């Protein structure tokens, strides 16, 4: 009996001592992922519900046609000396870019909408304004820096060096069979190299870039003006209309101005450049 009791006690102690070690070997149980509720059943949407501003409701905001015409036809004051090189071009663009950054440090157009419960439901429009203004200014900056041609990326220089030495088809084989890159990635390299080589010699006249910068001045001025407005019931509709008009004009400029469209296609990173090993 005594021996049985002692053995039982020893066994109990061993189980207790080994317990934590055994638990430590078990996989760590992470908290269950929060379930995401998704409405799957069909719902009848009333006309009033459809008009509620739940995601910017851009379609429900009227454009200020007079303001739109002014923004599209007016320009800022011409500089004392026309731009003629990168430095003078950047100097003309500089104040616009500075104003853009001042507005965005204060929360940008998105912050303008978020500050007032009267227009907060339309905040998506504010986010779009900030994004589109940035694209426009960055495009103008790219044009200033590349008026006399787009400097080639290191990737395009390497790829074009191989193409010039052995031809495009042999270069493709080299990148796939020797370098070991995927065929789809090699096609991106070849396209980038060809695109870059063509753009090295393209020109954009400085007077045309100057005109684009001056045409952007009224857009930036309105961007800042909207920031300084305190929205209340008396000016809510005007704020919404003017902001949506600004967004409409900037989007039109980005989509329809040839030099701006070109700048956005050129001002991109080289594809997978960091993977180059030769």
pLDDT tens-digit series, residues 110-167: 999 999 999 999 999 999 999 999 999 999 999 999 999 999 988 899 999 999 999 9
Asked whether residue 180 carries a pLDDT value surpassing 50, the answer given is yes
Domains in the chain: boundaries: 57-150+202-275, 154-196
| DSSP assigned state of 32 | P
Alpha carbon of 22 to those of 28, 30, 31, 72, 129: distances in Å? 12, 18, 21, 74, 58
Residue 83 and residue 205 in contact, taking contact as beta carbons nearer than 8 Å: no
Predicted structure pTM score:
0.74
Q: Under 8 Å CB-to-CB from 213, ≥6 apart: which residues?
A: 76, 89, 92, 93, 96, 140
**How do residues 37-82 score in pLDDT, each as one tens digit?**
233 333 333 333 333 444 444 447 899 999 999 999 999 999 999 9
Q: What is the pLDDT of residue 272?
A: 63
């Amino acid at each position: 009996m005594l021996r049985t009791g002692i053995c039982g006690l020893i066994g109990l102690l061993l189980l207790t001592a080994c317990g934590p070690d055994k638990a430590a070997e078990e996989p760590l149980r992470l908290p269950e992922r929060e379930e995401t509720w998704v409405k799957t059943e069909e719902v009848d949407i009333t006309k009033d519900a459809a008009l509620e501003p739940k995601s910017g409701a851009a379609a429900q905001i009227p454009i200020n046609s007079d303001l739109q015409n002014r923004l599209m036809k007016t320009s800022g004051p011409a500089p004392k000396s026309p731009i003629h090189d990168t430095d003078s071009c950047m100097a003309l663009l500089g104040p616009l870019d500075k104003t853009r950054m001042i507005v965005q440090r204060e929360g940008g157009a998105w912050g303008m909408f978020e500050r007032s419960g009267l227009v907060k439901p339309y905040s998506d429009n504010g986010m779009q304004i900030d994004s589109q203004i940035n694209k426009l200014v960055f495009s103008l900056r790219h044009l200033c820096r590349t008026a006399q041609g787009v400097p080639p990326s290191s990737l395009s220089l390497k790829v074009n060096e191989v193409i010039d030495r052995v031809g495009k088809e042999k270069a493709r084989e080299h990148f796939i069979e020797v370098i070991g890159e995927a065929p789809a990635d090699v096609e991106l390299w070849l396209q980038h190299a060809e695109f870059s080589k063509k753009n090295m010699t393209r020109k954009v006249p400085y007077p045309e870039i100057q005109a684009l910068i001056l045409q952007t001045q009224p857009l930036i001025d309105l961007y800042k003006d909207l920031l300084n407005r305190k929205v209340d019931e008396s000016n809510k509709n005007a704020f919404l209309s003017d902001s949506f008009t600004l967004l409409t004009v900037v989007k039109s400029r980005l989509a329809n101005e040839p030099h701006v469209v070109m700048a956005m296609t050129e001002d991109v990173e080289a594809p997978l450049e960091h993977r180059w090993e030769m």
